[in-house]
Structure 1
């Protein structure tokens, strides 16, 4: 069984179709929205409506002639101190990610997603040993990513499968300039 998703394109204003696609496949490619940071928040509001609970600061990701970014979810827990007050910038219960392509590279750089639910369910049926590890063994989820892009060096220990994330994502290596913005949010569905 393949866990890859080839998302359908949908006009950002067609909220009924958009929400149906997300329920069915976990991903959609929104069209018709401007390539501005505000459009990411608009996309989140259109997608989730009254279920949108928290919007985290968007992140800009420029890259040039870069290698691949392996399959991952963005559910890190990042707290910063602003004027001595702890402020959560990322949350382990983020359950939606919006990625906006601002500039595409000369070659490569395609984003990809995988249905985490489908993978986990299929793994549980076909091979109970990896399933047991993924759902019961505590591991350092930051691992080699500590201190990367501002992530804390403090380990975050947990199970691979413990969040509400449906989609894992990554991108292929590329040559040329690539620029995306990433917005993560928490919905009413998160724990």
Structure 2
């Protein structure tokens, strides 16, 4: 197993090198914008320009004495009825995520990130075959959540877009398909993957976000999380899709 850590470089939000660095490394920290949710949209437009296709509603996460948030990729599948029209509020193939730290906790809350492509490529051969070859109900563990479509979202943890871009997913909502004849084997593989991820997470270097910093991640490539913290911590989060999603 390779612990392919990402420690993102800090750049001014208007620096033209930010887009190139994000593409090369999978993550970048943008600085210099007001510590307000509107800055997420400004950062997205500055980074992706005319390549920006869809912004999803920003969400604010407040936690007090919060526990650890393990390595994950941001994605969900939520469609709501808005005045009689189906409206998508989250997308299973959000290809980038922006996380702004609005209020730093008094202690703890350090961030970490992982190059998921490199990490999963280093796993044992049978686990790699599982990631690429087994269909899962990606959000089945959350069945019944309001807004989640009744039709299961079926996919694999490693897939490729129509244009060949790789997606390496990480969601704790994944379960075997309904009546999967190999459900026990699938459940065992998911548990083994969790063990591997937990081991990698413990070995990752931590980095600290300042208030107003925006962590931008390639959501197809990079998994991220944070350590436990004491006191109150506030973050604003926005996911999006670009023309390459």
Asked if these proteins are the same fold (TM beyond 0.5), I'd say: yes
1:134 to 111, 131, 144: 131
Q: Which residue of 1 aligns with 2:148?
A: 152
CA contact (8 A) 1:55 1:186 kept: yes
1:143 offset after TM fit, Å?
A: 5.0
Q: Which residue of 2 aligns with 1:91?
A: 91
1:175 to 230, 233, 242: 230
1:84 offset after TM fit, Å?
A: 2.3
The answer on 1:3 being equivalent to 2:4 is yes
Question: CA-atom RMSD, angstroms?
Answer: 1.9
Stretch deviating more after TM superposition (18-27 or 133-142): 133-142
Q: Which residue of 1 aligns with 2:14?
A: 13
Q: Mark the structure with the bigger radius of gyration.
A: 2
1:167 offset after TM fit, Å?
A: 1.2
Tell me, what secondary structure is at the counterpart of 1:66? coil
Stretch deviating more after TM superposition (168-177 or 178-187): 168-177
Aligned residues: 185
Runs of 4+, deviation exceeding 4 Å: 143-148
CA contact (8 A) 1:145 1:151 kept: no
Pairing of 1:73-112 with structure 2 (within 5 A): 73-112=73-112
1:146 offset after TM fit, Å?
A: 5.1
1:157 offset after TM fit, Å?
A: 3.3
TM-score (norm 1): 0.88
Tell me, what secondary structure is at the counterpart of 1:67? coil
Change (3 A) 1:111 1:143: farther
Matched residues in 1 for 2:65 and 2:149: separation? 27
TM-score (norm 2): 0.70
Tell me, what secondary structure is at the counterpart of 2:19? helix
Matched residues in 2 for 1:59 and 1:43: separation? 16
Q: Which residue of 2 aligns with 1:186?
A: 241
CA contact (8 A) 2:80 2:147 kept: no
Tell me, what secondary structure is at the counterpart of 1:41? helix
Q: Which runs of 5+ in 2 are unaligned?
A: 160-165, 168-219
